[in-house]
Amino acid sequence: MDLQQLLGYFGALLIGIVLGLIGGGGSILTVPILVYLLFINPVTATAYSLFVVGVSALVGAIRNMQKGLVDYRTAIVFAIPAFITVYLTRKYLIPAIPDELFSIGDFLVTKNIAIMLFFALVMLVASISMIRSKNQDYEEETIVSYNYPLIIIEGLVVGVLTGIVGAGGGFLIIPALVLLAKLPMKKAVATSLLIIAIKSLIGFIGDVENLDIEWSFLFVFTAISVVGIFLGIYLSKFIEGKKLKKGFGWFVLIMGIYIIYKELSK
Kindly report the pTM of this predicted structure.
Answer: 0.85
Report percent pLDDT > 70 for the chain: 93
* Residue numbers of the domain that contains 152: 3-264
- How many residues are recorded in the chain? 266
Q: 24: exposed, middle or buried (C-beta count within 10 Å: 0-12, 13-18, 19+)?
A: buried
Separation CA 133–CA 135 (nearest Å) = 5
pLDDT of residue 138 exceeding 50, the answer is no
The count of domains in the chain is 1
261 pLDDT band, cuts 50/70/90, is: very high
**3-state secondary structure (DSSP) of residue 214:** coil
pLDDT, one tens digit per residue, over 192-250 is 889 989 999 999 998 998 899 999 999 999 999 999 988 988 888 888 766 787 888 89
pLDDT of residue 4 exceeding 80, the answer is yes
Q: What pLDDT does 259 receive?
A: 93
145 pLDDT band, cuts 50/70/90, is: low
pLDDT of residue 136 exceeding 70, the answer is no
Closest CA to 166 of 62, 266, 69, 27: 27
**HSE, side-chain direction, 13 A CA sphere, residue 141:** 1
- DSSP characters over 102-122: EEETTEEEEHHHHHHHHHHHH
pLDDT of residue 137 exceeding 60, the answer is no
pLDDT, one tens digit per residue, over 34-43 is 999 999 999 9
257 pLDDT band, cuts 50/70/90, is: very high
Q: What pLDDT does 173 receive?
A: 85
Q: What pLDDT does 3 receive?
A: 85
